[in-house]
Amino acid sequence: MTPLTHKVCMLGDFGVGKTSLVARYVRSTFSDKYLTTVGVKVDSKEVALPGRDPLKLVLWDIAGRSALDAPSTSYLRGASALLLVADGTRETSLSSALNLLMQSRSTLPDAVAVLAVNKLDLVERWEVAATTLSELRRSLPVFETSALSGAGVEEAFAEIARRLPG
Work out how close the CB of 47 gets to another protein at its nearest, in angstroms, rounded to a whole number: 15
Instruction: Please report how close the Cβ of residue 30 comes to another protein at its closest, in angstroms.
Output: 14
In sequence order, what are the beta bridge partners of 62?
Answer: 40
Asked if residue 157 binds another protein (CB under 8 A), the reply is no
Residues 95-124 that bind another protein (CB under 8 A): 117, 120-121, 123-124
- Residues with Cβ within 8 Å of residue 18, at least 6 apart in sequence: 10, 11, 12, 37, 61, 62, 64, 83, 85
From the CB of residue 71, how many other CB atoms can be counted at a distance below 10 Å?
12
Which amino acid, one-letter code, is at 152? G
Q: Say whether residue 90 binds another protein (CB under 8 A).
A: yes
Distance from C-alpha of 3 to C-alpha of 123, rounded to nearest angstrom: 37
Residue 58 in contact with another protein, rule: CB under 8 A: yes
> Using CB under 8 A as the criterion, which residues of the chain lie in contact with another protein when the complex forms?
5-7, 14-15, 34-42, 44, 58, 63-64, 71, 74-75, 77-80, 90, 117, 120-121, 123-124, 126, 130-131, 133-134, 137, 142, 144, 146, 149, 151
